[in-house]
Amino acid sequence: MDTVVSGIRSTGNLHLGNYFGAVKNFLKMQKENNCFFFIADYHALTTHPHPDDLHGNIKQVLAEYLACGIDPESATVFIQSDVPEVSELYLLLNMNAYVGELERTASFKEKIRKHPDNINAGLLTYPVLMAADIIIHKANKVPVGKDQEQHLEMTRRFARRFNTIYDVDYFPEPDAYNFGNELIKIPGLDGTGKMGKSEGNGIFLADPPEIIRKKVMSAVTDAGPSQPGQEPSEPVKNLFTIMSVVSDPSTVKYFTDKHSSCEIRYGDLKKQLAEDIIKVTDPIRNRIKDILADNQYLARVVREGGEKARASASKTVREVREIIGYRPF
Ligand code: TRP
């Protein structure tokens, strides 16, 4: 059985792209592996959230993941800052992380370009904290998207370096859990690129039906096919891609055929698409509401998850201290 660790950003609501691209894979993994899923709320501090927002954001993201079906009975679900052992391992790993390699990290370079007013040391050492998150549970698999591959490469390097420096075979080097071809990239509704939080082109799991209808009806299309068998344009293809994950195959075929024969009415396609999206999101949206209203449940989930995570983390930190040479008197 593999040990899987994944950190979840505590900023922003989940959209359809997150759901079909990442969360659904978590649901599959949690059944077959020893999974640790946590809200990365130490990492969240790199962008200086206001204290009034921090807790609410954590709670919202947690509720959304649970509403999607992340099961605290199968996976260890916890809040990063409830496991302070990770900050000790982070400190220890920092001693063997070099400023040069951290400065060369793509995500760091991008951050300093975008936010030159907030180049804090936490941002620089972000990959070290992420490595600590992962190796503290001796994970061997980490589900990551493209944007996190370099961070995982650094995690492997930090684990290997620790083993080399102390001449031990202690930390495993975790592999990326890449869903490769299975990974569905959900496009946005603006005709270009993938669905994203900041792009304003997304449908959120927490969106009520009337908002979803509005968003889908105003999605970008084109003037319609001018000859039979014509390939759909990029924006129209995008709608078909979304349809392929939410609708019945017969519905997809119906509209594909209509497009092929130049009889398609995009208004009809959008109406159908909106209803099929709502069929997927509405039960989740209702569960998000129920879970958010049940603070006792949320408190129990994070307490029990935190205890399990701490048990695993404190064992590692104890052994690491011993390896480094901290000994009792
Ligand atoms: N850096 C990840 C992201 O931005 C979040 C994260 C933090 C993470 N710690 C992790 C992911 C450990 C996987 C494993 O999405």
Question: Which domains are delineated in the chain?
Answer: 3-184+295-324 (3.40.50.620), 209-289 (1.10.240.10)
Position 194 confidence tier, pLDDT thresholds 50, 70, 90: confident
Please indicate whether residue 214 is annotated as part of the active site.
Answer: no
Q: Chain-wide mean pLDDT for the chain?
A: 95
Instruction: Name the closest-CA residue to atom 8, ligand 1.
Output: 7
Closest CA to 27 of 63, 75, 77, 78: 75
User: What was the pLDDT predicted at 197?
Assistant: 80
Rounded CA-CA distance 138/171 in Å is 6
Instruction: Name the closest-CA residue to atom 7, ligand 1.
Output: 7
Judge whether residue 180 has pLDDT over 60: no
pLDDT in tens, 76-134: 999 999 999 999 999 999 999 999 999 999 999 999 999 999 999 999 999 999 999 99
- The reported pTM is 0.94
Position 198 confidence tier, pLDDT thresholds 50, 70, 90: confident
User: What was the pLDDT predicted at 172?
Assistant: 98
Q: Of these residues, 28, 31, 141, 197, which one is catalytic?
A: 197
Judge whether residue 196 has pLDDT over 90: no
Using the mean position of ligand 1's atoms as its centre, give its distance from the Cα of residue 131 in Å.
Answer: 9
Please indicate whether residue 253 is annotated as part of the active site.
Answer: no
Using the mean position of ligand 1's atoms as its centre, give its distance from the Cα of residue 78 in Å.
Answer: 14
Give the H or E element holding residue 38.
strand 34-39
Torsion of CA 275, 281, 282, 288, to 10 degrees: -170
Q: Which ligand 1 atom is the nearest neighbour of the CA of 8?
A: 5
Rounded CA-CA distance 270/278 in Å is 12
Establish how many alpha carbons lie within 13 A of residue 313's alpha carbon, considering only the half-sphere containing its beta carbon.
27
